[in-house]
Structure 1
Amino acid sequence: MNVLNRSGKILFFLAVLYLSVFSLHAGELRPSGLVFNDYPGSTVVVIDKSACRLMVYQFQESWKMQQVFPCTTGKVFGDKFREGDLKTPIGIYRLNQAWAGWELAQYYGNDANVYGTGAFEVSYPNYFDQVIERKEGNGIWIHGTTKGDPIPTRGCISISNKNFLELTRAVELGDTPVIIEEKVAFSTNEELAREQQLLLGTIEAWRRAWESNDIGNYLSFYSVNFITEKWNFDSWRKHKLNVNTQNERRRILINDLSVLKSKNIYHIRFIQNYTSSVLNDVGFKHLFLVKEADGLKIVSENWTPLKQLSPSPAFQYAYKESVQNSM
């Protein structure tokens, strides 16, 4: 799906519209990490490691659990930090790639039997894992199994081959969030609506400060512990002061916003359309916010260009009907 096909909405409008929607469904429960991703047809995969459940939620007028599959995760309890620790990571991810089982067999031979009918690559370690949490390792997949029920893994998430086929109909590469928790907490829509109001208001205030060249107000949204692959807070501040003197006029549009939460960190993603006298670009902006004593603060951010992910040709052939229904 082309992410630009969705109709984008200004944050202030989103806040008013969706808070009114949630008032109609205040008593319903949904995962606490699913703060805001509320576009009709949106799908999120939620994995509860302790309960051995993979849940598929979809939003129409409210969030509903559409499917739940038994699953297994890493043999060792806890969050993944090192290669070979046999743990399944905790956090928020996307699906980067997909392979059919017979395609994996071409690469791994008989060792591919453990993956069953196919596999999705999970985006571990992602930007947050590497820059903030300094996690290591790779090769975390959601995959099928050999025969019968899935068994504990070296860190992957395993579901039955039948359920893997069902999952292919529900997810979109690069777009469907995957929330992995040790134990999934749940909140009412009323509770999450209050959280939404705070988050959406903060993001809109940050956008306006940036767009209006109010550099003092703009920098107030950043934590003194801010860090990226290139900057800390002091170097970031100097960089932004320099940029703003050269580029005083800009327009910033935000579309396709999602706000997810894991381990009390808000993971915010949106399509940022940036227009100025010296630069025009469109891409995914990621903000990571925490609650500090004086309010929500950005502890890291990054930008990546838009790109369309596609399953491998073998996966498309093996699951042609499933992929066409979901892509």
Structure 2
Amino acid sequence: MMFISSGAAASHDEAANSEQIPDMLIPLDSGNGAEYAIVVEKETQQLFLYANDGTVKEVLRMNCSTGKVTGAKAVAGDLKTPEGIYFFIKEHKDKDLGPIYGTRAFPTDYPNLLDHIAGRTGSEIWLHGTNKPLKVRDSSGCVTLENSDIDTIAKYITLNRTPIIIVKKLSYGPFDVKLEAKTSVLNIFSEWKDALENGTYHDYLKFYDPEYLPDISWWSEWNKIRKTIHTAPEPFSVELENILIIKYNGTYVVLADQVINFSGREIQAGIRKFYLTEDHFRIIGEEYQGMSQARRDKQDNPFMMACRNLGTKEDKHEIANMLDDWLKAWSSKDIQEYGNHYASDFQSQGMNLKAWLRHKGRLNKKYKYIRVSKEKLVVKKSKQRRVVSFVQKYESNAFKAVGIKQLILKREDGQWKIYRETWKKI
């Protein structure tokens, strides 16, 4: 589903021409049903809801109130409503709100990256209800609706997905122009994706404006992971799915779900938001939508976090099978098969592997039967090793015990082997 918006002025009467559609909308059938965009026209104090399911249609139109002072927001406290493309990041119900916000409120992500670059300040620009009669240009910068209207439109809002596009005045344009823009943007990101998967650092940076230097500190680690992945027989790709394109004031905003496909699995790797110039389609900014400020301050990278977990998730299936075989050998008192699951340099409780197996052999002779099982398996990556923990249930003819088993595994002869082993009763 894709939307495109522009802030250029034109009259609503142009919409009567079947060749003219609102600049913010591109008809596209996503296959997932209709998606929605909210558009606020400050000049007429109107809010529009558009649906896009292969055809574009206006679903709702309602009165709204914007900032008491006309013009685009520039600084905190100027009583102006910002103009641009924003996304809803939270929803507050009436029980959590002061009376002036009415029955519910949707905070937006103002100021976004472009606002920060432009030096615009302020915060807490919301779409919300009210506890008084609605008047034009009566807010402190938020977009205000009647309570019945905010309750109605809430059904169409998906957090970190549904855009609210705030313009001075709507404009309209030919459908074919929108399709050309869509094709250009999609082609750019197809090439961007290829550079990410297979290209060099310099190939990747070609898609970025020379005046904008993206955070590329992760590339060295990604390059190592990529080389390892490319040697695996399983198919691998990085995809941008559910792409949303919006245009305002000469800049495109592209929102997409970043997904890693590996070994038949889809791994979510964050919601990417890109800002592109209209003239050369170069990226002038990027961020992860819905990411908390605390995570931004830590410079968390959802893409790299997902990549680091690729091996761990793949390993977990292999490790679970290995543990099942190990527990089966333990329960059946097959000391040779049991010992095959240990690393040659294993140590535990002051015993090396040879002493450990002698100890287990004596216990096998002592008990008539042994039953050992695992629950709640957790696998964590620690450099080249894996730290495994689970609830171990042990039963013999002499006693029963439940505890937390922790194993440190290492690769030996191409297989995961037990390097260290501890147990704590619970």
Q: TM-score, normalised by structure 1?
A: 0.71
State the Cα deviation string for residues 108-166 of structure 1 (Å, max 9, x = none).
Answer: xxxx3x32232221221233322x22321111111122333334111011111221221
2:58 is aligned to: 65
2:70 is aligned to: 77
Higher relative CO (CA 8 A, sep ≥ 6), structure 1 or 2?
Answer: 1
- Are positions 1:94 and 2:110 aligned together? no
Q: Tell whether the 8 Å contact from 2:103 to 2:147 is kept in structure 1 after alignment.
A: yes
- Are positions 1:47 and 2:40 aligned together? yes
State the Cα deviation string for residues 243-296 of structure 1 (Å, max 9, x = none).
Answer: 5477444731121111111121111111112469xxx7611111111034xx21
Q: Which runs of 5+ in 2 are unaligned?
A: 2-16, 231-235, 293-426
1:260 is aligned to: 246
- Are positions 1:303 and 2:296 aligned together? no
1:219 is aligned to: 205
2:272 is aligned to: 285
State the Cα deviation string for residues 220-245 of structure 1 (Å, max 9, x = none).
Answer: 211111145xx4xxxx4x87478547
Q: Deviation of residue 73 (structure 1)? A: 0.5
* Counterpart secondary structure, 1:218: helix
- Are positions 1:155 and 2:141 aligned together? yes
* Counterpart secondary structure, 1:260: strand
State the Cα deviation string for residues 92-116 of structure 1 (Å, max 9, x = none).
Answer: 11112222334313xxxxxx3x322
Question: How many corresponding residue pairs?
Answer: 264
2:24 is aligned to: 33
Q: Which amino acid aligns with 1:283?
A: G
2:328 is aligned to: none
Q: Tell whether the 8 Å contact from 2:111 to 2:121 is kept in structure 1 after alignment.
A: yes
State the Cα deviation string for residues 284-318 of structure 1 (Å, max 9, x = none).
Answer: 111111034xx2111111235789xxxxxxxxxxx
Aligned-pair RMSD on alpha carbons?
Answer: 2.9
Question: What is the correspondence of 1:228-247 to structure 2 with a 5 Å cutoff?
Answer: 228=214, 231=215, 236=216, 240=219, 244=223, 247=226
Q: Tell whether the 8 Å contact from 1:70 to 1:159 is kept in structure 2 after alignment.
A: yes
2:129 is aligned to: 144
Flag the structure with higher strand content. 2
Q: Separation in 1 of the partners of 2:103 and 2:193?
A: 45
Q: Tell whether the 8 Å contact from 1:75 to 1:155 is kept in structure 2 after alignment.
A: yes
1:21 is aligned to: none
Q: Tell whether the 8 Å contact from 2:40 to 2:166 is kept in structure 1 after alignment.
A: yes
Specify which of 124, 134, 137 is matched with residue 110 of structure 2.
124
2:183 is aligned to: 197
Q: Separation in 2 of the partners of 1:47 and 1:59?
A: 17
Specify which of 180, 183, 196 is matched with residue 210 of structure 1.
196
Q: Deviation of residue 203 (structure 1)? A: 1.2
2:165 is aligned to: 179
Q: Separation in 2 of the partners of 1:227 and 1:35?
A: 30
Q: Which runs of 5+ in 1 are unaligned?
A: 1-7, 9-25, 106-111, 308-327
* Counterpart secondary structure, 1:192: helix
Identity, % of aligned pairs? 26
Q: Which amino acid aligns with 1:270?
A: A
Q: Separation in 1 of the partners of 2:220 and 2:92?
A: 46
Distance 1:202 1:215, change over 3 A: same
* Counterpart secondary structure, 1:89: coil
Q: Tell whether the 8 Å contact from 2:257 to 2:268 is kept in structure 1 after alignment.
A: no
Q: Tell whether the 8 Å contact from 1:35 to 1:261 is kept in structure 2 after alignment.
A: no
Q: Tell whether the 8 Å contact from 1:286 to 1:303 is kept in structure 2 after alignment.
A: yes
Q: TM-score, normalised by structure 2?
A: 0.56
* Counterpart secondary structure, 1:183: coil
Q: Separation in 2 of the partners of 1:263 and 1:122?
A: 19
Distance 1:305 1:45, change over 3 A: closer
Q: Tell whether the 8 Å contact from 2:86 to 2:163 is kept in structure 1 after alignment.
A: yes
Superposed structure 1 runs of 4+ greater than 6 Å apart: none
Distance 1:304 1:195, change over 3 A: closer
Q: Separation in 2 of the partners of 1:303 and 1:122?
A: 15
- Are positions 1:134 and 2:119 aligned together? yes
1:4 is aligned to: none
Q: Tell whether the 8 Å contact from 2:42 to 2:66 is kept in structure 1 after alignment.
A: yes
* Counterpart secondary structure, 1:202: helix
Q: Separation in 2 of the partners of 1:134 and 1:289?
A: 18
Q: Tell whether the 8 Å contact from 1:35 to 1:195 is kept in structure 2 after alignment.
A: no
